Structure 1
């Protein structure tokens, strides 16, 4: 599996368009746990970040706020700003090594990414036409645009540390794929060091240097993220715990609550309701 496919599998992304049209004035975006994609097709737009810094856009541009960074958009110039805005939610949650590896905000002129402008044109065409199924089509188009943004980030090597770097590392990429395929098997540090063909101490040091996590912490995070995906597929809780490497339901519940602050059943109830 290539890096981008692996990343998308880990994120389990859903996009939802909530605004399309002319923005004249100020709009704020602060919802916790939500990323945003803003696409400027025409006009000019100011992005005001939480620290007060301002970025001015005067050409067709895509803005991807990855980790729920509070920000404001201002389309206050004479012509305003022609925009589509969408929320991007990750069903496995924001505590995800992939998300942490991405830049917090990505700003890309549409002309800088091959093919991106074509998808954006179709997106605006759907917004303007008002045909049946418009919302569903626009949401899928935003997900395709999201994939193209990730492809650009991966190909440009824009993240010197974190998951993307680890996936590009010959030894650690084997380890990450091994962990993902063997969550209910032997994922001890000794076994992972063997997979990487490194000594135990060298492996731990190398792993931490790229992922800023100890191997055991990464395994636990991956187990919980995988459990979330299985829960959203409505698999029985007892089977999920075993599949992600816990010997009994109580051990799984304790680990899940430590990672998320919620019991598995409470998390499932909340998130199944949110996507219903």
Structure 2
């Protein structure tokens, strides 16, 4: 969890074009606005939700006559894409055309309270993560049945992807290949790769890389050496690990650690 808030932009207020390294979910409470994503423009109003996915170019703008108000939450981590996919959101379908906000506003409020309160940052983050899951569940519940890509006929495919995600989350510190993953789960590698990308927007190996890098950032806040962290994240060669970390975050592991102090 990173942050959550609510806003009332001025008429014509713009955000972007830009790119975030985290997921950002907005739910429109009133008014109107424009969300531009990839090659499409979405005219949004009260009850609609839109998502900015990490690493993707976005643009959004409040209506000039009836500017929107909205609530938002930002979060990052290796579970981001599967969580959003479970709610019916992926990079090819980043908008929920709402039928009202349901209980979403209350859940946004509880989420903000969790982030702001408490004497323990770890407990606050844990509570906020719970409210986030309830919020995504509520947003998914509000969708028309036809808008849910995971419904009915694709339930089996969803379970297959969930199996793969759980396996990667458990075995990320081990040597992993797509052939090995497919063989262990009993699927053809091409079939598994296609399903995985459809539900998460990433290939299994791209997801594994993000998972390992997210874990590496956590471990850099500990006293473990860079070599120990590399090994704990599935990299036998510390130099290769350092190069991959720099490509992902623009800093070496050592420089990142120094920035935490």
Which aligned pairs between 1:17-56 and structure 2 lie closer than 5 A? 17=5, 20=7, 22-30=8-16, 31-33=18-20, 34-42=22-30, 44-49=31-36, 53=41, 55-56=43-44
CA deviation profile, 1:253-276 (whole Å, cap 9, x unmatched): 133234455422344556x48xxx
2:104 pairs with 1:119: no
Given candidates 185, 203, 208, the residue that maps to 2:193 is 208
Q: Contact (CA 8 Å) 1:37, 1:65: kept in 2 or not?
A: yes
For the Cα contact (< 8 Å) 2:246–2:252, is it kept in 1?
Answer: yes
Relative to structure 1, the CA distance from residue 134 to residue 23 in structure 2 (aligned partners, 3 Å threshold; closer, same or farther) is farther
| Aligned partner of 2:3 among 9, 15, 22 | 15
- Unaligned 5+ segments in structure 2 are 118-123
Q: In structure 2, the residue corresponding to 1:111 is in which secondary structure?
A: coil
Structure 1: which 5+ runs fail to align? 1-12, 127-132
Distance 1:144 1:197 in 2: 32
How far the C-alpha of 1:72 sits from its partner, in A, is 0.9
Q: RMSD across aligned C-alpha pairs, in angstroms?
A: 4.3
**2:47 matched to 1:65?**
no
In structure 1, what is the Cα distance between the partners aligned to 2:162 and 2:23?
Answer: 27
Task: Please give the residue correspondences for 1:218-229 in structure 2 after superposition, counting only pairs within 5 Å.
Answer: 218-229=207-218
Aligned residue in 1 for 2:121:
none
Between 68-77 and 244-253, the greater mean CA deviation after superposition: 68-77
What TM-score, normalized by structure 2, do the two folds share?
0.64
Q: Which residue, out of 207, 216, 241, partners 1:252?
A: 241
- Matched residue SS, 1:70: strand
Q: What do residues 70-95 of structure 1 show as CA deviations (whole Å, max 9, x unaligned)?
A: 11122623xx55x34446142569xx
Partner residue in 2 for 1:169:
159
249-258 vs 189-198, which moves further? 189-198
Give the length in aligned residue pairs. Answer: 232
The 1:84/1:269 distance shift into structure 2, 3 A limit, reads: farther
Match of 1:192 in 2: 181
Shift of the alpha carbon at 1:169? 2.9
CA contact (8 A) 2:51 2:95 kept: yes
Larger Rg: 1
* Cα contact 1:15–1:88 (8 A) shared by 2: yes
CA distance in 2, matches of 1:75, 1:235: 53
Deviations 1:221-266 (A, max 9, x none): 4322332333356754332211111123213113323445542234
- Give, in whole Å, the separation in 1 of the partners of 2:65 and 2:213: 44
